[in-house]
Amino acid sequence: MDTRSSHLTAPGRSRSSQSISPSHSASASATSSIHKRKLASDDHAPPFPSSLSDTRDGALTSNDDLESISARGADSDTGDESEEVVDEEYDDSSMRKFTATRLENSNVSGPATAAARNKLKTENLVKIEPADVAKDSGINNNTNNNAANAAVSGAAGSATGIFTDNIQTGGAYSSREESLKREEEAGRLKFVCVSNDSVDEHMVWLIGLKNIFARQLPNMPREYIVRLIMDRNHKSVMVIRRNQVVGGITYRPYVSQKFGEIAFCAIMADEQVKGYGTRLMNHLKQHARDVDGLTHFLTYADNNAVGYFVKQGFTKEIFLDKERWHGYIKDYDGGILMECKIDPKLPYTDLSTMIRCQRQAIDEKIKELSNCHIVYPGIDFQKKEAGVPKLSIKVDDIPGLREAGWTPEQYGHSRFKTTNPSLDGASNQKSLTAFMRSLLKAMHDHPDAWPFKEPVDARDVPDYYVIIKDPIDLKTMSRRVESEQYYVTFEMFVADVRRMFSNAKTYNSPDTIYYKCATRVDAHFSSKVQAGLQSGIKIQP
């Protein structure tokens, strides 16, 4: 029997029963309203599963801090104390005592001790520096950007038309990552990886993180959260802003197995869905690969958080050899086991630069193959009545059309053709105009055409134009036909006719005379089109 697994099972525990954050579900309440949440059925289970108090390696029991740490602290996640989840089983005085004693010790210690502590601090704090990461990953931002920029401006210089740099620099992912990266570079934000190393500052951060987990993962026993955070086999990657913990991920690296188990992951309520969770995960991956030598992460994701983990590259399918992880990780009820492979090369903390370079390379390639980046001056397309252009513009004169591969044979792209193949484009257009004219007359002469002959008068039907945004009538269509410029295809004409009837059926209910007129004139129109087609007009399939 594998004794490891029996130690590690955490039955009946799910990290959170919380609703998805507001941006993910309109019906969800804010994540801070924990007190309203329905806790899972195991709420009345002992706060500390007996199986969890056991440890493989005695790391927890060697942890003298744990003796005095209660699972309750001064929660600072949302700052709203009224929302505190009160669990009378815990005594927070020991936590206060612990914190106070630590701070007191740090204040009274002499210079030698302070120097030693600072040394320890620097040694233990794994500060994740973006510059180093970029260097390690072989990405030199400046060089790459400059090269890409030079290529872009070269292409711009060689373009003959007016060149507009319409390259999008990035999507939401990249811009969030870039803005957080800038914050890091400016020193306003830092990502650190710490464990319980007795350094005062780290302990304060770990307690801050504990408070966030306790609030964001309300179904997780607080004792258990404290236990894992303070366990020296666990590490916590945290995002710190103005010396306050914004969120973090606590994980256990199984170095011999080359995988890590993410135990908890949370961002404080006010700061969710701003990109911190993604950046945190990217820092974690970079650190776990470069410092711990891990190749995979496994986690039991809460149902609500599966979407987040999927976006971080986690899958529900587990590819990692079961032998490598089975018996090592803890089971959680209500969670879904997910895996993420850590790429051996990706510059995780500088993905946005990589994406930008890739994007620029693709844009360069597109420019080599097409002219779509050249923007020509617009056409003065002022319209007079009935939407007919004031100026007659020859298609050939439209700037850029020929350069885009257009040929006069494609004029109108109409499927309308007379059966006489000898007719050229102009004669074909005349024949089309004659056919449309005859169809208009046929509709006009129909006894039920009276509602469609003129535009609807807003004085008679005040809300008509509120409901019908694209009105049309036989008179307007007649103007368009007679302009011989508007309906360059038969399909455009038919679209206007269909819209005229659908407008009538949208505004009027089926029992009205208008609705019935529309049905009858529409049928008449269709029969006339059929008759026209039989008598020599051809619409190509």
Ligand X SMILES: CC(=O)SCCNC(=O)CCNC(=O)[C@H](O)C(C)(C)COP(=O)(O)OP(=O)(O)OC[C@H]1O[C@@H](n2cnc3c(N)ncnc32)[C@H](O)[C@@H]1OP(=O)(O)O
Residues annotated as catalytic are 261
Cα angle value 27/30/34 (rounded, 5°): 115
DSSP state of 328: T
Q: Which of 199, 237, 240, 265 binds ligand X (CB under 6 A)?
A: 265
> CB neighbours (10 Å) of residue 119?
10
**CA distances (Å), 54 to each of 45, 453, 516, in order?**
17, 87, 80
Number of residues that bind ligand X (CB under 6 A): 31
Residues 6+ apart with CB under 8 A from 441: none
Exactly one of 251, 254, 264, 452 binds ligand X (CB under 6 A); which one? 264
Among 28, 30, 204, 273, binds ligand X (CB under 6 A): 273
Taking the CB of residue 293, how many other CB atoms lie within 10 A of it?
11
> Exactly one of 199, 240, 266, 537 binds ligand X (CB under 6 A); which one?
266
**Whole-angstrom Cα distance, residue 204 to residue 236?**
13
Q: Using the minimum distance from each CB to ligand X, give the nearer residue, 235 or 524.
A: 235
Contact pattern from residue 144 through residue 173 relative to ligand X, giving x for each residue in contact according to CB under 6 A and a dash for the rest: ----------------------------xx
For residues 420 to 459, the per-residue mask of contacts with ligand X, x marking binding by CB under 6 A and - elsewhere, is ----------------------------------------
Q: Is the dihedral of CA 84, 202, 352, 293 positive or negative?
A: negative
Q: Minimum CB separation from ligand X for residue 329, in Å?
A: 11
Least distance to ligand X from the beta carbon of 25, Å? Answer: 9
The C-alpha angle 523, 525, 529, rounded to 5 degrees, equals 120
Sites for ligand X among residues 30-89 (CB under 6 A):
31
CB of 173 to ligand X, least distance (A): 5
**Separation of alpha carbons 98 and 148, rounded Å:** 54
Select from 49-57, 80-88, 180-188, 268-276 the region that touches ligand X (CB under 6 A).
Answer: 268-276
Nearer Cβ to ligand X, position 78 or 272? 272
Measured from the CB atom, the residue of 266 and 340 that comes closer to ligand X is: 266
Rounded CA gap, 226 and 228, in Å? 6
Residue 232 token pair: 């020296």
Looking at beta carbons, which residue is closest to ligand X? Answer: 277
What's the min distance (Å) between Cβ of 335 and ligand X? 7
Sign of CA dihedral 536, 537, 540, 541: negative
- Segment interacting with ligand X, rule: CB under 6 A, options 196-204, 269-277, 376-384, 435-443: 269-277
> Are the CB atoms for 324 and 257 separated by under 8 Å?
yes
274 or 359, CB closer to ligand X? 274
Which CB atom, from 30 or from 147, has the smaller least distance to ligand X?
30
Task: Say whether residue 277 binds ligand X (CB under 6 A).
Answer: yes
- The dihedral through the CA atoms of 389, 391, 397, 403 has a sign that is negative
Crossing angle of helices 425-444/490-507, nearest 10°? Answer: 20
Binding mask 11-30 for ligand X (x = CB under 6 A): ----xx---xx-xx------
Per-residue x/- marks for ligand X, 293-332, CB under 6 A? ------x-xx-xx-xx--x---------------------
Closest to 408 (Cα-Cα) out of 424, 392, 389:
424
DSSP string for 243-269: TEEEEEEEEEEEGGGTEEEEEEEEE-G
The neighbour count for residue 482, using CB atoms within 10 Å, is: 15
Nearer to ligand X (CB atom), residue 214 or residue 518: 214
> From the CB of 305, what's the least distance to ligand X, in Å?
4
- At residue 367, the 3 state secondary structure works out as helix
| 216 interacts with ligand X by CB under 6 A | yes
Q: Is 248 in the site for ligand X (CB under 6 A)?
A: no
Q: Which of 285, 286, 287, 289 is nearest to 299 (CA)?
A: 285
Which CB atom, from 245 or from 477, has the smaller least distance to ligand X?
245
The β-bridge relationship of strands 335-341 and 126-127 is unpaired
Binding positions for ligand X, rule: CB under 6 A = 15-16, 20-21, 23-24, 31, 172-173, 216-217, 262, 264-267, 272-278, 299, 301-302, 304-305, 307-308, 311
